[in-house]
Structure 1
Amino acid sequence: MDKYLKVLRKEMRPAMGCTEPAASALAGAKAAQLLTGYPTSLEVITSRDMVKNAMGVGLPNCSLKGIQAAVALGASGGDVEKGLSILSDLCPEQIQRASALPVLLSIETEVPSLYIKVIAKNDEGYAIAVISGEHDRFSYLEQHGQVLLSLAVDACGSSLEEEDAQFLGNTSLSELLAWVQSAPQEALDLVLEAKETNMAIAKHAMEHSYGLSVGRIASEPIGKEPSSLSEAFSLASAMAAAASDARMAGCPLPVIINSGSGNQGITLTVPLGVVGSYLKCSDEKLGRALLLSQLIGLALTAKKNRLSALCGAFTAAIGTACGLVYLLDGTLLEMDRAFNTMVGNLTGIICDGAKMTCALKIYSCVEAANLACKLAFRGMSPGNESGIVGKTSKESMDFLSRISHEGMEETDKTILSIMLGKQA
């Protein structure tokens, strides 16, 4: 199978609610599945980034929040077969059991950023389930002292983190665009279906109040139908924010993710869906623009940790900017300009966990993508004399990687320290 298509099929999957709590619930459900009967206590050992991204986000179909609640919900009757949609169907008994289940949480520093270990115990014994590398990838399973599965955890041991990340991390904007121009219909169908799924939660959120209602309030001057390209750009930002408003508040509608993130999946699809509809683009043209944005999002994730101190909405919005350029018949030159403008504009946006303010960040990032697109068609973009902007998008990608890995490690620790301090 075509390697780009293979990566897209693996990455673009549905998730219910934020993916870190979903992964936590999945680990809890798997550990409980290996026991006889329900667990009477749970121990959770996880990374600081998992705690950060699950601390303030609402869980679907209940009023609970946080990584401990998510693990308890999974262990109290979650269906492992549902994957990252495990929180899509909760019964009152399951919520009641989870609320009463003791969960001990500790943070481990010497593990990958995407790592969660759940130890479930009862009178019959204990079981262990570890998810690492990818949000639904089990790397270790143990049942009553018998090891059932053991994969490398230190390097995450996943094809995404190794083979696919190397493949995408070494690619260039020109290579991605070349593939997109001749991508098969299966790939187009995949991204168009993702757009429909993510537009559904965006439209729902424009009619209902969630979180800060960023999307609803931002769209008020425009209404539902833009009358100009400028209004279409603005509505695109608002609807992407609205989808995040709903998702972060625990809205029980699915989102197609990118790089393990629903917010990134929203950022890469909803704005292009809105602008493509205004422009009356064909499905083929919109599909190729969506493909380009999705692949850029994945390529940038491959250059940094999946969970880091660098906001994922920002890196995703770089893909959005290039997709907008594609919709407006721009060339690789305009895309390169838009890419570098985004790097020069928003690189400093931090990730302080998944919560209601993600909608604010998505709105700001998509607005920046709109501006980068407009500047690109005027021949404008920062040159490599500007801070961390490279001569080309490829060089800027490398600088972003350095910022994420070398520059923001201490920032990430400080962010979590502040967040945990507020819980005391």
Structure 2
Amino acid sequence: MIGIEPAIAMGMIAGDDKKELMVISDVTHKQVEEVRNFLDKKIIKTHVYPGDIKLYIRLEISNGEDNVLLEIKHTHTNVTRILKNGKVLLSQVCNDGDFNSSLTDRRVLTVKYIYDLAKTIDIDLIKPIFEKVITCNSAIAEEGLKGKYGVNIGKMILDNIESGIYGNDIRNKAASYASAGSDARMSGCGLPVMTTSGSGNQGMTASLPIIKFATEKKLSEEELIRGLFVSHLTTIHVKTNVGRLSAYCGAICAAAGVAAALTFLHGGSYEMVCDAITNILGNLSGVICDGAKASCAMKISSGIYSAFDATMLALHKDVLKSGDGIVGVDIEETIRNVGELAQCGMKGTDETILGIMTK
């Protein structure tokens, strides 16, 4: 079962609101059957709610005697209003402006700042964070390569490497590893993931290709951690411009981070790192986000393949030029252009996607 209606039914029948985003983590087989039976009644109706708020959920429930209305705004756990039979049970003041910016002041973030800091930061300050990234995200990638999850794109790539159809190279191995993690995550695997910008898929995309690259190249632990630092901070920088919620695929933000980190680990200059990011953003910025599901793993593999291409081009001093579509005069303008595309240009795209999903 996938989709909005099953999610609503699952929450009603088996949800535990105290677990917040893990609200349906302990669903039993019996409850799954209850959900199926409930869905067969076809009493859940969904509609796209008009308005400018990027995340708005309104639930209206009636059993014939009582009527309940619940409203959620901006973030998935931010319940702002509950009414029962017209009586206010909860009313939370919600300043929309507070949700249109990042949780921290990220004005200092530029690619130059990230590059310079990655070169000089005391490794002991960041090592504990990235040790967790390596442990958690590697575990779910390994699980994704063993089990049957989603369309199994990660395992498919690995199987074709082993059979000789695909080349036994770092690029294919990195794509396999990263997409396997997403295969498992998007299919309900309960293993934890270290996120980036609030997203498990972005966290895995930004880390797993770099982990695999470092393993294959026998890089030191310090080199790996500095590479992960570049990847994750670049991802956050691009994603900050894209915004919290957009029809712009977050895996592409993370793929830009991968391109930056690969170039950095190859010994590339600051200018080359900028060129690698430019190459990938100029290539894949049209990829849409249409929800968290099995196809995310396929988008991740596409992003990883493109990240390697973007890196190799940059290392050979080949880069998309200013004026090539959304490519700006420098990397920061290009990233701002991507943000404008995501927040303004793709607003209609988001509405169309929602319309398709709620037909």
> TM-score normalised to the size of structure 1?
0.73
User: Greater CA deviation, 81-90 or 388-397?
Assistant: 81-90
Distance change >3 Å, CA 147–CA 92, structure 1 → 2: same
Pick aligned residue for 1:328 from 266, 280, 283: 266
Give the stretch that moved more between structures: 64-73 or 100-109.
100-109
Which residue among 267, 274, 291 is the counterpart of 1:353? 291
Matched, 1:241 2:179: yes
Q: AA paired with 1:271?
A: P
Distance (whole Å) between structure 1 residues aligned to residue 109 and residue 52 of structure 2: 27
Aligned to 2:103: 164
Aligned to 2:327, which of 389, 404, 410? 389
1:114–1:306: 8 Å Cα contact kept in structure 2?
no
Report if aligned partners of 1:325, 1:335 keep a CA contact under 8 Å in 2. Answer: yes
Describe the superposition over 1:28-51 as per-residue Cα deviations: whole angstroms up to 9, x where unpaired.
Answer: xxxxxxxxxxxxxxxxxxxxxxxx
- SS across alignment from 1:376: helix
Partner secondary structure for residue 101 of structure 2: helix
Is 2:123–2:222's contact at 8 Å kept on the other side of the alignment?
A: no
Aligned residue for 1:415, secondary structure, equals helix
List alignment gaps of at least 5 residues for structure 1. 1-63
Secondary structure of the residue aligned to 2:24 is helix
Identity %: 31
Residues 119, 128 of structure 1: 8 Å contact kept: yes
1:293 is aligned, of 231, 252, 256, to 231
CA contact (8 A) 2:259 2:310 kept: yes
Match of 2:82, SS state, is strand
Residues 115 and 131, structure 1, Cα contact 8 Å, conserved in 2? yes
Paired position in structure 1 for 2:157 = 218
| Residue correspondence of structure 1 range 199-210 to structure 2 within 5 A | 199-210=138-149
2:134 is aligned with 1:192: no
Report matched runs for 1:296-307 at 5 Å: 296-307=234-245
Counterpart-to-counterpart distance in 2, 1:186 and 1:129? 43
How far apart in 2 are the matches of 1:170 and 1:399?
18
In the TM superposition, residue 294 of structure 1 has moved relative to its aligned partner by 1.6
* Count of matched residue pairs: 349
- The corresponding residue for 1:318 is 256
Does the aligned pair in 1 maintain the 2:154–2:180 contact within 8 Å? yes
Where does 1:119-130 land on structure 2 (aligned, <5 Å)? Answer: 119=60, 129-130=70-71
- Show the counterpart of 2:9: 72
1:15-414 matched pairs, under 5 angstroms: 64-99=1-36, 100=38, 102-119=43-60, 129-136=70-77, 138-142=78-82, 144=84, 145-152=87-94, 154-155=96-97, 157-158=98-99, 161-162=100-101, 164=103, 167-168=105-106, 171-180=109-118, 181-182=120-121, 185=124, 187-223=126-162, 231-414=169-352
> What letter corresponds to residue 313 of structure 1 in structure 2?
A
- Per-residue CA deviation, residues 80-104 of structure 1 (Å, 9 max, x unaligned), is 3333233322123433444427544
CA contact (8 A) 1:169 1:302 kept: no
What RMSD in Å do the two structures reach over aligned CA positions? 2.8
Distance 2:12 2:269 in 1: 51
- Quote the offset at 1:299 in angstroms: 2.0
- Counterpart of 2:244, as a letter, is R
Paired letter, 1:142: I
Structure 1 84/163 Cα, relative in aligned 2: closer, same or farther at 3 Å? closer
1:415 aligned residue (342, 347, 353): 353
Partner Cα distance (2:190, 2:76) in 1:
19
Separation of aligned partners in 2, 1:292 and 1:151: 38
Amino acid at match of 1:205: G
Structure 2 counterpart SS, 1:76: helix
Letter of the 1:146 counterpart: V
Distance change >3 Å, CA 91–CA 311, structure 1 → 2: same
Residues 69 and 98 in structure 1, CA contact (< 8 A), matched pair in contact too: yes
Higher relative contact order (CA closer than 8 Å, sequence separation 6+): 1
Structure 1 position 342, deviation (Å): 0.7
